[in-house]
A and B are shown apart, each in its own frame.
Chain A
Amino acid sequence: MQHLKRLESIFRQVLDDATLVLSEDFSREACVDWDSVATVQIILAVEAEFNCRLPMELIADCTRVDQILAHIPSGA
């Protein structure tokens, strides 16, 4: 839950939408501004926020929030 809240603030900043509400099944189809450029921004911001390194495949293929959550170390 804590992770989701922190992800939400990253998504809000990258997608420039202060009212965005994030859920685990939030996906690219549900959001026009979430394009491939935004994906890269999100992944890089997540890495900085959680001080971790996500796999390269996510940069190319991430389409849902739970894909990111699955890769964030639990103690981060």
Chain B
Amino acid sequence: MPKLALNVDLLRLLDDGALSHLLSTAELTDLEQFWAPTLPQLTQAGARFVRGFCHRVEQVSAAEYFLAAGWLEPESSWVTCSSGRWIRAKLLCKMGRTEVALAAYMQALRQQSDTGEMAYEAAKLAGQLNQPGILRECLHSLSPEQMDYNVLNRWATFCTRCYRQHPEWFGGPVLRVAVLLGTSTQFLLPILRLVAFVYGLRVELFSAFGPAVAAEIFEPTSALYAFQPDVVFLGDSPRNLDASPDERAQLWVEQQLRSIEQRWAALQQNGLGSIVQQNYTAAPQAAWAQLDGADSRACGYRVAALNKAICERANQAGVQVLDLTQVQLCLQTSQAWYDARLWYSVKQCPSLQAVPALAAAYVGYLRAMVGLSKKVLVLDLDNTLWGGAVSELGIAGIDVGGHSPRGEAYADFQRYVLQLKQRGILLAVCSKNDEQQAKAAFLHQDFGGLCLEDFVAFTANWESKWRNLQAMARNLNLSLDSFVFVDDNPVECLEMRAHLPQVTVIQLPNRVEDYIACLERGRWFQSWALSEEDGLRTDRYRAHQQRDCLQSQAPSLEDFLADLGMQASCGTIDGLHVKRVEQLLQRSNQFNLNDRTWSHASLQSLLENTAYWTRWFQLSDRFGDYGLCGSVVVKKTASIWELEAFVMSCRAMGRSLELYMLNAVMRAARSAGAQHLRIAYKATAKNEPLRSFLQQYMQEVSAAWEGDQETLISTKIDHFPLTAISEAPVETKN
């Protein structure tokens, strides 16, 4: 075979696969004299090239040469490009220099984006070297963009094995999850466990599929109930629906719905309240052709009617609906939802390529359940909210609005962000810009995008962004891990990651038309329940800032609190308030007694239970309403009251509402004749503020604070802390 003359300019035109093909016949001298020095110029080289290169190096035994010639040194020109960094780490690893190899992997991983393959090699090495911290770092580097089933499955096999051998390597809260499907669960579960790990959650799994599901649900002594799951996922494939056209469509829908509702009811009666019901995807076949959605005898029509009914009934029953259409929309074009062969052979649905998207949707719920959802979206301006730099082009020069395709896309991104605000996500700006100019740009927008009032914080200056964000977090009184930072500039993203690793950093893709999809894929802002409070959140935070301004001018804290004219109202938790209380228990971290997850059903069951005393608290002052921001659940016995939930939103922190709440409990307990109040406090990663509060007001039991597990403290009901809050006048109801 005539030998191809290697020429860099030509090679730069080839793709990853073609390059790796060329390598497969490279001689030792080609590798030494041509490929090694040329590597940094082949910027298109990817995973296949790296594999091909290392494979060929092994075949012709060139590794020792590369080592001797200095290519594997930290200063080698290879470290200037992503494929070179990966090859260096891989070769070092193959040569048994594991410690150096791991360092090389981590250096590469922190500098470049990865498809999950390099991180996998690094994680395996970290596991081998007993380095759980590094293993977790590799795991967390897996991005939500990574949706390749084969890559993730390899990760899942590895992580499952590690977890079995070293459960202590994986941190984070443990959730017990039951997956009960009409389709096979065996492919979903490993990926589900893996994706949970990626987001710092551990899941214990229980599963059943097919006919076994009904047995588990309807038999009170079943293994399902013995497992005591925190959340139950239910679902089925339309392939299992008997859409017999003989019956009337409405009758058919009612029948299907009844069997679904019976399952919810049985689960709820047996104490399992957190239920997520998948709806049905459109069936893979449409025998009625173009009339499939229109004719009441057709499967498409019936599935749509059933989905609508599921949604309505689920809302009444306090069940969450997982909309699979949304999951399908996340799939890339190469990933089909249905795979007929896997259905007929192993009852698997969806296709393996769609499994990661489904697992990510499940984990979105789990994250919301344990309060890992994000609260603030921090946005860059230039090339994020509009095209171009406003400081260079002026307000008239930036690209946003309906004048160009890119302008349309930026405008749409702004409208999307605005919708996030409307459902309760706080927005902020963090930009390197001239403040006047940056703000002026918003005043001239006329396409229904963002305006200045939509932001709870706006920093445009030339300081480093991480310092600005840190100050922002302090001002808003939110922890850094509730922030998502979005920027198009990779340097800003790297710097933010390096200085504030708790912040979720999203580097926007190169093309503006992909911005929304990129932000959606992370499911950062999923919430378990929405309430009316959510829409008002931005206003509440803005009022908060006015208060801060007053506080900075007040001579003392007492003066400030007195000046605020705070008033509280409270009442027994009822149907009107239960949704917001549920949300408060899920979202609040700093003032929360423990990490117990309260399901909708368990709260609902308290409403009529006379053994419990419950309260919601609402606070307002002269700047506005804080909304419902505190809640208490007490289990009553004759002489002892047990505090089961004590939760307060961070937006009410520093207002002594916690004292007011404790006071209310004490007074109610005394008038009921109780002598002691018992509190089961369990330390979590964040509830130190509640601990110091309780410690301050319950000094006689301070000895109990030594252990960091669950601490049962008991106090005599005899003192009543005073606050600057007065009782709100009772509204007369008509």
Contacts and interface: CB of A to CB of B under 8 A. Distances in A.
Interface of A: 13, 16, 35-37, 40-41, 44, 56-57, 59-60
Nearest to A58: B345
Interface size class on chain B is 10 to 19
Nearest to B158: A16
B186 interface: yes
Given A36-B186, A37-B187, A41-B153, A16 B161 contact: yes
B89 interface: no
Given A56-B341, A59-B341, 11 more contacts: A13-B154, A16-B157, A36-B186, A37-B186, A37-B187, A40-B342, A40-B352, A56-B345, A59-B342, A59-B345, A60-B346
B346 A44 contact: no
A56 B344 CA distance: 8
Contacts of A16: 154, 157-158, 161
Contacts of A35: 186
A37 B190 contact: yes
Classify the interface of chain B: helix, strand, loop or mixed. helix
27 contacts: A13-B154, A16-B154, A16-B157, A16-B158, A16-B161, A35-B186, A36-B186, A36-B346, A37-B186, A37-B187, A37-B190, A40-B187, A40-B342, A40-B346, A40-B348, A41-B153, A44-B352, A56-B341, A56-B344, A56-B345, A57-B345, A59-B341, A59-B342, A59-B345, A59-B346, A60-B345, A60-B346
A59 B187 CA distance: 14
Interface string B156-175: 01100100000000000000
Contacts of A40: 187, 342, 346, 348, 352
Contacts of A13: 154
Nearest to B344: A56
B116 to A, nearest CB: 15
A13 B341 CA distance: 23
A28 to B, nearest CB: 15
Interface of A is mostly: helix
Nearest to A39: B346
Q: Which of A13, A36, A37, A41 has the most CB of B within 10 A?
A: A37
Nearest to A53: B341
Contacts of B158: 16
Nearest to A37: B186
Nearest to B186: A37
Interface in B118-176: 153-154, 157-158, 161
A63 to B, nearest CB: 14
B653 to A, nearest CB: 48
A26 B341 CA distance: 25
The 3 closest A-B pairs by CB, nearest first: A59-B345, A60-B345, A56-B345
Nearest to A33: B157
Contacts of B344: 56
A36 to B, nearest CB: 6
Nearest to B190: A37
Contacts of A60: 345-346
Contacts of B348: 40
A40 to B, nearest CB: 6
B454 to A, nearest CB: 48
A41 B157 CA distance: 12
Nearest to A48: B150
Contacts of A59: 341-342, 345-346
A57 B341 CA distance: 9
Nearest to A35: B186
Interface in B339-378: 341-342, 344-346, 348, 352
Interface string B188-231: 00100000000000000000000000000000000000000000
B296 to A, nearest CB: 34
A48 B131 CA distance: 35
Contacts of B187: 37, 40
Nearest to A45: B150
Contacts of B342: 40, 59
A57 to B, nearest CB: 7
Contacts of B161: 16
B344 to A, nearest CB: 6
A55 to B, nearest CB: 9
B52 to A, nearest CB: 15
Nearest to B187: A37
Contacts of A44: 352
A37 B158 CA distance: 14
B199 to A, nearest CB: 23
Contacts of B345: 56-57, 59-60
Nearest to B156: A37
A57 B344 CA distance: 9
Contacts of B346: 36, 40, 59-60
A67 to B, nearest CB: 14
Nearest to B153: A41
Contacts of A37: 186-187, 190
